[in-house]
Amino acid sequence: GPLFFDMSNNEPLTGGYVRTANGMIVKLNDGKNDTQDSKVKQPAGTWNEILLAKSPVNDDQFLAISIDDVKCDPTTYEVVNPELSNSIMDNSPFIVISQDKWGTHNGVSSFANNELQMGEFTFQLDLKRNESQSSVEDYTVIIFKLGKGRSVLDLSTATSRWTNSDYFVGDSGEVGKLSTQLKSYIDAAKTTDQSSVFYDFYSKMIDKEWTGMIALNCSLDYSALPIDLQMLLGGIDGQLMAHHFGITVNHIEKNEATSPIDNSSLFGLVHYNKALDTKSIAAKPESNHFQVLKLNALFKNSALAHFDSRIAMTIPKLFEEKTKLTLNSSSDTYNIIEIDGVYQKPVDPKKKVGKVVFDTELKFVFDFDKTTSQFRALDKLVAIDAALSPVRKDEKGDGSSTIISHFSLSGGVGFVSSIGGDPNNNGAATDAFSFGITEDYSKGNKGLGVTDYNLEMTTEIKTDNTASLNPDIPTKYDEIRMFLQVEENSDQSRTGSFFDTFPLKFVDFAFNTNGGLSASSLNGRQMLMDKFGGTKYSGLLKDVSPNFGLRFKINVGSLGALVSDKSILEAEVLLGWTTAGNDNTANQVGMIFLPPKGISSDGSFKIQGVFNAYYGDILLDRYPQTDGSSKLLFVITLQDVDFLILSIPLIPSTWERALTFFGDPTKPKGNNLNWFVGNPSHDPSPDTGNGTVDVAFIAKPFMGLMSGLDLKTDPTSINVIGPAINSLFSVPISTMVIINNIASGKTGGVVNYNPDAGLLFWLEIDFSPVSLKLLFDDPSLYGGVIKVGPPKKKEQKPDGDEGGEGGEGGGGEAPMAMADDGGDGGEGGEGGDDGKKSLSDTWGGLELVFVYRKINDNLGEYAGQFTLPKAISTFNLGEVEITLPSFGMEYFTNGDFKVTVGWPFSSTASFAPGAQ
């Protein structure tokens, strides 16, 4: 090969860099052989490396052609391929290289440094090809034009001017074939439009003065591309190549200083353009399909001058249901979203590479299948943002890698306004899903917010610069997030819907596309629904395991302030739907109640930690307003509720009683949940079970449970429990009446509506003549009364020896009777003089009252009152009748106390203070 000499002494130059007359920079061998083998030489002044360019991104990366092991028996010279170095030194050389003629040095190709990064792209000058690659459209061609006077286009057909073509291209047939292809390649880019991505290339190809190197159809190193480009490769048909990559070389004046490359003037174009592949979409019409439609990256003067790209995603289904993209679809036949990619320059000036972003704020409206007559729970999904973004890169040991990326939709999802209803009942549609949406996405009609509706793409990057996309592009349901879209006091729920009228907190989206969300797997209870008007189990809610659902929380409150765990109880409700699977199958709606801690899914719980309670089915119901409007209030009802003491049920089995949870009918979208145990019938005057109308709250044994209603009591009286319970008998038994009274503000009197009021539970058990009354009014009043009724007046029998019912003569026996010489017989009976006295004869009038009253957060009161039986408290001393007083005591938690003594005894009057 050629040698460079020091002209001052005619000695070969020992290393360093020189620039050839046509502008090529060459590193010289220094004559110091890299081996002790005398037959391997690096003669001084010979070519060690041709430096072609320096990366504008990576200062340590150079494009270079290095030494070959050139054998000249018996010596092997380590120099740049002489065929190339001699050709470069030719006068105005035009070197066209299509054959991989690079040799090796120590087993490494002399063109091992054949890559250079410019922007996000790493260009790879790889001349390897197989037999099937017979066109410049299929493989890379490198051209060195190092002389002026004729353009590349002219020289492409002047094959006689091709330097050493038989070595770098092949025989005359190969040269002629390549010549035709080169001209066609350049002519295909012909343009006078300066905005065209081909304008810079074509201008250089027809410029007689341009000199430099250019690689046509240049490879890109897939493994070196950033992940934001790698994620696109699977959507490209074939291999992504650079249309061209080039280096401009300028001539130098004589004696100009020589030095290694500091900057390079690079240019290039990555170009891809492909029409939408509707054939592949039609072949799998129910599958997601991804395609890159175009990708252009134009570089001038080593910098990105233009970038544009476009991708297309076909989405036939959402939530496993057929949809129709009615707004901004690029196809009338298929649901196709097209997004243009933009290049974002780095914010940090120290960073030289930006990133490609695919994101659009165009609005896309998906209508769920309206062509079928079958029920569909979903109405619309309006996407206000669609984006493609990389997630991660998993590298493998063999150099290949897997790229995970997501095509994401964000916006709002809306549901149909009814899961069913009876149009003959004031149009009482059941708006369980609550959230509607309109195409214009206006305030109040935006549905539930949805983000991260991700379609996951898996792209395999192979070591041979090819890539493949897994055709299965699944929806990542575990990444979807739904949320309330609150703006200007609107949460987007429809008026009169479940969410509007029942105190709910939306939690999130739930799914199980395989077996469904079953009640058993969630430790919950399947909910049912009454037909409007009270007919049980209308079938609107199915006994199904939904595939998709909305999770809501319910602040149940407390099971009583006396419970050891005073945390607020939160239940959950899952409202969901099954997938249809085909056009002839309807979505089925299911609802699952997940009870809070303290209320088991098997139907049991305890009030105040003491009283056992049980319930049966759980219903979603609606109560109409009686004000003449068509408003409905959603409630959740625990059917067939009962309370037990010593395993004795307190509610007769023939009576229908239920524990109903409901919200504030005067304040839609409220947070307060109220309880009421009553008759759940939609009839405002429900039967007690015996055919008569009963206005009492709960019949014998009397008890009641509610929250959200404040009980009015005398704050100064100890004897408050009995009168309070007696007053509660005026509270209506009908749940519907109570709700409507609250709505109309008619709860004044015994109780006042207060949504912040705690649990109110009371109980009266009458084992005549003994009665027990207990009252738990959280958090302010707790107490009870134990009382023995007064003795009954005796009716003298004619013979004086017959007992009443249950007893005869002087020996009658009855429950709760006391022994005496001549007491009563059984209940209501009385015997002769030797009969036994009844319990009331001896203890009638005994009354024990015990009370705790919370006065304020820092002060409480414990109080008690004791009244002796009349038989004991009253006795005669001669002609004087003496009555012992009743005693009362109040103790305050600040240490104060009060003792009260008073007369006379009365079984009905309040305790009258006497002496203190």
pLDDT tens per residue across span 834-885: 456 777 777 888 889 999 999 898 999 999 988 888 777 777 777 777 777 7
Mean pLDDT of the 617-623 span: 89
The answer to whether position 299 is within a domain reads no
Per-residue CA distances from 302 to 16, 248, 269 (Å): 26, 10, 11
The secondary structure of residue 346, as a DSSP letter, is P
Q: Please report the pLDDT score of residue 699 as a whole number.
A: 36
Take residue 630 and report the two structure tokens written for it.
């068509």
Candidates 317, 321, 320; CA nearest to 334 is: 317
Burial of 802 (0-12, 13-18, 19+ CB in 10 A): middle
CB 404 within 8 A of CB 417: no
Mean pLDDT of the 531-555 span: 80
Q: How far is CA 183 from the centre of its chain?
A: 57
Candidates 583, 325, 541; CA nearest to 433 is: 541
Question: From the CA atom positions of the chain, what is the Rg in Å?
Answer: 47
Start-to-end Cα distance in the chain: 130
C-alpha span between 280 and 284 (Å, rounded): 7
C-alpha span between 78 and 93 (Å, rounded): 24
Strand pairing of 618-624 and 525-529?
A: parallel
Q: In this predicted model, what pLDDT tens digit does every residue of 623-677 receive, in sequence order?
A: 876 665 567 789 999 988 888 777 777 776 767 788 999 888 877 777 778 888 8
Greatest distance between any 2 Cα atoms in the chain: 164
Mean pLDDT of the 244-256 span: 68
Match 């629904």 to its residue by tokens: 529
Question: Are residues 592 and 727 both part of a single domain?
Answer: yes
C-alpha span between 93 and 149 (Å, rounded): 12
Question: Are residues 758 and 854 both part of a single domain?
Answer: no
The least confident of 351-365, 434-448, 593-607, 740-754 is 740-754
Averaged pLDDT score across all residues of the chain: 84
Q: How far is CA 286 from the centre of its chain?
A: 24
Cα dihedral sign for 162, 167, 171, 173?
Answer: negative
Take residue 679 and report the two structure tokens written for it.
């008759």
b/e 316-353 (16+ beta carbons within 10 angstroms → b): bbbbbbbbebeeebeeeebbbbbbebebeeeeeeeebe
Candidates 717, 849, 847, 688; CA nearest to 775 is: 849
pTM value > 0.85: no
Question: Are residues 626 and 742 both part of a single domain?
Answer: yes
Considering only residues 376 and 647, tell me which one the structure prediction assigns the higher pLDDT.
Answer: 376
- 764 confidence band (pLDDT: 50, 70, 90): confident
Question: Are residues 773 and 895 both part of a single domain?
Answer: no
Strand pairing of 303-314 and 336-344?
A: antiparallel
CB 348 within 8 A of CB 52: no
* pLDDT over threshold 80, residue 58: yes
Question: Are residues 476 and 535 both part of a single domain?
Answer: no
Question: Are residues 738 and 611 both part of a single domain?
Answer: yes
Strand pairing of 569-577 and 611-614?
A: unpaired
Match 């109560």 to its residue by tokens: 623
The answer to whether position 903 is within a domain reads yes
Q: Which residues contact 765 (CB under 8 A, 6 or more apart)?
A: 645, 701, 702, 771, 772
Q: Which residues pair with 881 in a beta bridge?
A: 876
Take residue 804 and report the two structure tokens written for it.
């009443």
C-alpha span between 764 and 785 (Å, rounded): 9
The answer to whether position 271 is within a domain reads no
Q: Which residues contact 346 (CB under 8 A, 6 or more apart)?
A: 352, 353, 354, 355
Q: In this predicted model, what pLDDT tens digit does every residue of 419-452 receive, in sequence order?
A: 876 544 444 578 999 999 999 998 889 999 999 9
C-alpha span between 408 and 8 (Å, rounded): 70
Q: In this predicted model, what pLDDT tens digit does every residue of 698-715 receive, in sequence order?
A: 435 567 888 888 888 888
Q: Please report the pLDDT score of residue 26 as a whole number.
A: 92
φ and ψ of 559, to 5 deg: -85, 15
Question: Are residues 218 and 324 both part of a single domain?
Answer: no
Q: Please report the pLDDT score of residue 137 as a whole number.
A: 85
Domain boundary among 748, 770, 785: 785
Q: Which residues contact 258 (CB under 8 A, 6 or more apart)?
A: 16, 17, 18, 19, 25
Q: Please report the pLDDT score of residue 80 as a whole number.
A: 93
C-alpha span between 874 and 627 (Å, rounded): 57
Mean pLDDT of the 14-19 span: 90
**pLDDT above 90 covers what percent of the chain?**
49
Q: Does the bond joining 798 to the residue before it have cis omega, within 30 degrees of 0?
A: no
Write 742-749 long-range contacts (CB < 8 A, 24+). 742/664, 742/665, 742/666, 742/674, 742/708, 743/625, 743/627, 743/633, 743/665, 743/666, 744/627, 745/666, 747/709, 749/712
The answer to whether position 674 is within a domain reads yes
Mean pLDDT of the 726-747 span: 81
Domain boundary among 186, 201, 224: 224
The answer to whether position 830 is within a domain reads no
**pLDDT above 70 covers what percent of the chain?**
85
C-alpha span between 582 and 589 (Å, rounded): 16
Q: What is the dihedral of CA 498, 501, 507, 508, to 10 degrees?
A: 30
* pLDDT over threshold 60, residue 73: yes
CA angle 399, 288, 574 (to 5 degrees): 110
Q: Please report the pLDDT score of residue 218 as a whole number.
A: 95
Question: Are residues 587 and 733 both part of a single domain?
Answer: yes
Q: Which residues contact 724 (CB under 8 A, 6 or more apart)?
A: 711, 713, 762, 775, 777, 781
Residue type, 741: N
φ and ψ of 680, to 5 deg: -80, 5
C-alpha span between 482 and 114 (Å, rounded): 50
The least confident of 44-48, 161-165, 249-253, 293-297 is 249-253
- 825 confidence band (pLDDT: 50, 70, 90): very low
* pLDDT over threshold 50, residue 681: yes
Question: Are residues 416 and 371 both part of a single domain?
Answer: yes
* pLDDT over threshold 70, residue 903: no
Candidates 378, 380, 352; CA nearest to 364 is: 380
The secondary structure of residue 566, as a DSSP letter, is -
Q: What is the dihedral of CA 78, 83, 86, 90, to 10 degrees?
A: -160
Question: Are residues 868 and 751 both part of a single domain?
Answer: no
C-alpha span between 232 and 87 (Å, rounded): 40
Q: Please report the pLDDT score of residue 40 as a whole number.
A: 66
Strands (E), 260-363: 266-273, 289-300, 303-314, 317-318, 321-327, 336-344, 355-360
Strands (E), 493-586: 505-511, 525-529, 548-557, 569-577
Q: Which domain holds residue 208?
A: 5-224
Strand pairing of 505-511 and 525-529?
A: unpaired
Question: How many helices (H) and strands (E) are present in the chain, helices listed first?
Answer: 12, 59
* pLDDT over threshold 70, residue 242: yes
Question: Are residues 605 and 736 both part of a single domain?
Answer: yes
The answer to whether position 569 is within a domain reads no
Take residue 693 and report the two structure tokens written for it.
């109308």
Per-residue CA distances from 396 to 18, 38, 121, 124, 288 (Å): 42, 43, 21, 22, 27
Q: Which residues pair with 339 in a beta bridge?
A: 311
Match 């609150």 to its residue by tokens: 486
Per-residue CA distances from 189 to 205, 218, 265, 437, 786 (Å): 10, 16, 22, 49, 105
Question: Are residues 528 and 449 both part of a single domain?
Answer: no
The answer to whether position 264 is within a domain reads no
The answer to whether position 402 is within a domain reads yes
C-alpha span between 311 and 324 (Å, rounded): 20
* pLDDT over threshold 90, residue 558: no
Domain boundary among 785, 805, 827: 785
Domain count, the chain: 4
Take residue 858 and report the two structure tokens written for it.
């820092």
* pLDDT over threshold 50, residue 251: no
C-alpha span between 623 and 237 (Å, rounded): 61
The secondary structure of residue 359, as a DSSP letter, is E
C-alpha span between 891 and 899 (Å, rounded): 9
Q: What is the dihedral of CA 84, 88, 94, 99, to 10 degrees?
A: 10
Q: Please report the pLDDT score of residue 453 as a whole number.
A: 98
C-alpha span between 317 and 336 (Å, rounded): 11
DSSP 392-427: EEEE-TTS-EEEEEEEEEEEEEEE-S-S-EETTTTT
Q: Please report the pLDDT score of residue 388 as a whole number.
A: 97
Q: Please report the pLDDT score of residue 532 as a whole number.
A: 57
